Chains A and B, each alone.
Chain A
Amino acid sequence: MATSNLRDIKRRIKSVNSTEHITNAMKLVSTAKLRKAKSTFERTREYFHYITESIEEIFNSTTDVPEKYLAGNREIKTRCYVIMTSCRGLCGGFNTNVIKEADRQMTYDMNPPVIVAVGSRGKEYYEKKCHYIHSEYCAPPENISFMETKGISKPIIEMYDQGEIDEVVMIYTSFVSTLEQQVKTVTLLPFQIDYDPNVMKLDKIVEYEPSVEEVFNYLVPKYVEIMIYGAIVESATCEHAARRMAMESATDNAREMLADLSLYYNRARQASITREIVEIVAGSEAQK
């Protein structure tokens, strides 16, 4: 009895120990990946606000924005959701948080939503729920190129232009710090332009070439493309940060468990030795 108990504990120590090795290795891997993803993310963020700002500025300063891109031009019936999840698990609540938020958004919809899934986790979840998944993108997101994001955004814009969808909502995880990530929901189309009094209204006339409409027809898809690209990069950074955190706590837990188990093991071993001594002593006493 005592020996089998000892063996059990020893087996568990061995298994926890190997789990600890794995989680620790994964932590190191995601730390390295996080560093890489973060540098890409910071590079994109640097110029990123330029483009969005310049586009917003143009929207703010003209009144001739093609109406189809403005909020309130048509009733919103079918929503399109761009959901950014990861392709791998073991990253804590990263995917569940995004999916929870997406589900919350969808509860208000009348028509079944159109889903564009980036990352296989979200895709699998909504496939199970029998939602219509329009397109998916499942390669590792940290080395996605801008050209590849075009493949995601182009069909979205086409659907919007043809009136198949009335609103494009993007749900992704935004990077606050390596320890904190936040799920964010952004409406890409149509534009909600609130004339911000803080934004200086441009008082000069701006030349548009070839024409205002053409410029907008170029800028709007570009804006969507850029936003999606930025969100993918950001979400990849968050994935690694979340995985690092998850793996770190898993490693900590495994170590704690190992400490407890080795304590139990030593106690059990000591107990069995004591018992043996008692038995021997009792035996020799009886022979007297």
Chain B
Amino acid sequence: MAKSVLLEVITPSKLFYKGEVELVICRTLTGDEGFMANHSWACKLLDVGELWIQEAGAKDFRVAAIAGGYVDVKDYIVIYTDAAEWSGDIDLEKAKSEKERAEQWLAQPHTKEDYDNILLAKMAIAKSLTRMHVSEGGARRKR
């Protein structure tokens, strides 16, 4: 069994997860990255994406969708994110309808002033896509 490390996943409204894990995979701005015990210290920004947690002693991964944030790796790992959901808690219908709404909005012609809103809509699409992937067990598993 690999060595385990303490992982904490924090969102503004609650402590999302706390426990000993062997491996945690999350999407940094430069790509998916896995962290295990004794990782060199790091502080990395996270993109909207999937969070994979392999708990100590477990074979399978637990999957959650997270909405960006940062990971702080020291002798323990802290992931801070604005929002997080386990795969089981995701409302697939809601994610689909949100994605459609954002896509419809994007399809309309926009002026330059809408730049922020365009970003927001793209973000919404990314979030709902992640949710949809995660609720089906994660994009990685589908491959």
Write the chain A residue with the least CB distance to B44: A209
A51 to B28, CA, bound (A): 19
**Quick check: which of B10-18, B52-60, B89-97, B132-140 contacts chain A, the rest being far away?**
B10-18
Query: What are the residues of chain A within 8 A of B82 when measuring CB–CB?
Result: 146-147
Nearest Cβ on chain B to A4's Cβ, whole angstroms? 61
Q: How far is the CA of A12 from the CA of B105 in the complex (A)?
A: 62
- Contacts A209-B30, A210-B30; A215 near B43 (Cβ below 8 A): yes
Question: A54 contacts which of B11, B80, B83 (Cβ < 8 Å)?
Answer: B80
CA distance A205 to B42 in the complex (A): 8
B103 CB, nearest partner CB in chain A, Å: 21
Q: Which of A196-214 contact B (CB under 8 A)?
A: 202, 204-210, 214
Q: How far is the CB of A105 from chain B (nearest CB, A)?
A: 27
- Kindly identify, within residues 22 to 59 of chain A, every residue whose CB is under 8 Å from any CB belonging to chain B: 40, 43-44, 46-47, 50-51, 54, 58
Complex Cα–Cα for A228 and B72 (A): 22
Q: Is the CB of B14 within 8 A of A215?
A: no
* A218 interface hit (Cβ, 8 Å): yes
**Residues of A103-157 contacting chain B, CB below 8 A:** 145-147
B45 A209 Cβ-Cβ under 8 A? yes
Docked-complex contact A206 and B41, CB < 8 angstroms: yes
- Chain A residues, CB < 8 A from B30: 209-210
A interface majority secondary structure:
helix
How long is the Cα–Cα vector from A273 to B78 in the complex, in angstroms? 81
Residue B44 contacts which of A51, A146, A207 (CB distance < 8 angstroms)? Answer: A207
- Are B12 and A146 in contact, with the CB atoms below 8 A? yes
Inter-chain contact B12/A226, CB cutoff 8 Å: yes
In whole angstroms, how far apart are the Cα atoms of A228 and B45 in the complex? 22
Q: B68's closest neighbor in chain A, by CB?
A: A218
Tell me, rounded to whole Å, the shortest Cβ–Cβ distance linking A73 to chain B. Answer: 22
Query: Is B104's CB within 8 Å of the partner chain A?
Result: no
- Take A46-B15, A206-B43, A210-B30 as given contacts and tell me if A218 and B10 are in contact as well, using a CB distance cutoff of 8 Å: no
Contact of B22 with A by CB under 8 A? no
A145 to B82, CA, bound (A): 11
User: Min CB distance, A16 to chain B, in Å?
Assistant: 43
With an 8 A cutoff between CB atoms, is A219 at the interface?
Answer: yes
- The residue in B13, B28, B82 that gathers the most chain A C-beta atoms within 10 A of its C-beta is B13
- Asked if B10 and A206 sit within 8 Å, CB to CB, the answer is no
Which among B8, B28, B29, B41 has the greatest number of chain A C-beta atoms within 10 A? B41
Interface residues of B (CB under 8 A from A): 8, 10-15, 28-30, 40-45, 70, 72, 74, 78, 80, 82-83
Sample (27) of A-B pairs whose CB atoms are under 8 Å apart: A43-B14, A47-B14, A50-B80, A54-B72, A54-B80, A58-B72, A146-B12, A146-B83, A147-B82, A204-B40, A205-B40, A207-B41, A208-B43, A209-B28, A209-B29, A209-B43, A209-B44, A210-B29, A210-B45, A214-B29, A215-B43, A215-B44, A215-B45, A215-B70, A218-B45, A218-B70, A222-B80
